[in-house]
Amino acid sequence: GAGVSQSPSNKVTEKGKDVELRCDPISGHTALYWYRQSLGQGLEFLIYFQGNSAPDKSGLPSDRFSAERTGGSVSTLTIQRTQQEDSAVYLCASSRLMGNEKLFFGSGTQLSVL
């Protein structure tokens, strides 16, 4: 695709529900990253993928958070039993190779947990 695509752009859910956030990286990009941005805060690293494997999951806040990537392309971030503190913008980025490559970000998913 022309850019990194994320869906949905907005998600409102009730506390305790599960949500799935989707990221379509730029075609051919090997690396895929998930970040979270809370209001007025910097970007918090969650996880990155190299191909379909996730060498660094250290940023996932709890075991309620999981992510997968299939076919070296689309990635899904799942949050189970959502809490109000999960409310944030979830950003996905991709790059052509791991290493000295610019990151290309999607527009993000605004998650609101009521």
Partner 1 sequence: KQEVTQIPAALSVPEGENLVLNCSFTDSAIYNLQWFRQDPGKGLTSLLLIQSSQREQTSGRLNASLDKSSGRSTLYIAASQPGDSATYLCAVRPTSGTYKYIFGTGTRLKVLA
**Residues of the shown chain interacting with partner 1 in the complex, contacts defined by CB under 8 A:** 4, 31, 33, 35, 41-43, 45, 48, 50, 55-56, 58-59, 91, 93, 98-108
Residue (1 or 99) nearer to partner 1, CB? 99
Closest approach, Cβ 2 to partner 1, in A, equals 14
**To the nearest whole angstrom, how small is the minimum distance from the Cβ of residue 16 to partner 1?**
28
**16, exposed or middle or buried, with CB in 10 Å at 0-12, 13-18, 19+?**
exposed
Is the CB of residue 42 less than 8 Å from the CB of residue 20?
no
Between 18 and 101, name the residue whose CB sits nearer to partner 1.
101
Q: Of 16 and 28, which has the nearer Cβ to partner 1?
A: 28
Based on CB atoms, which residue is closest to partner 1, 108 or 113? 108
Q: Report, in Å, the least distance between residue 17 CB and partner 1.
A: 24
Query: What φ, ψ does residue 64 adopt, rounded to 5°?
Result: -75, -15
Tokens of 92: 């996905």
Token pair recorded at residue 22? 């989707």
Per DSSP, the three-state class of 9 is: coil
Three-state SS for 91? strand
What one-character DSSP code corresponds to residue 62? S
CB 67 to partner 1: min, Å: 14
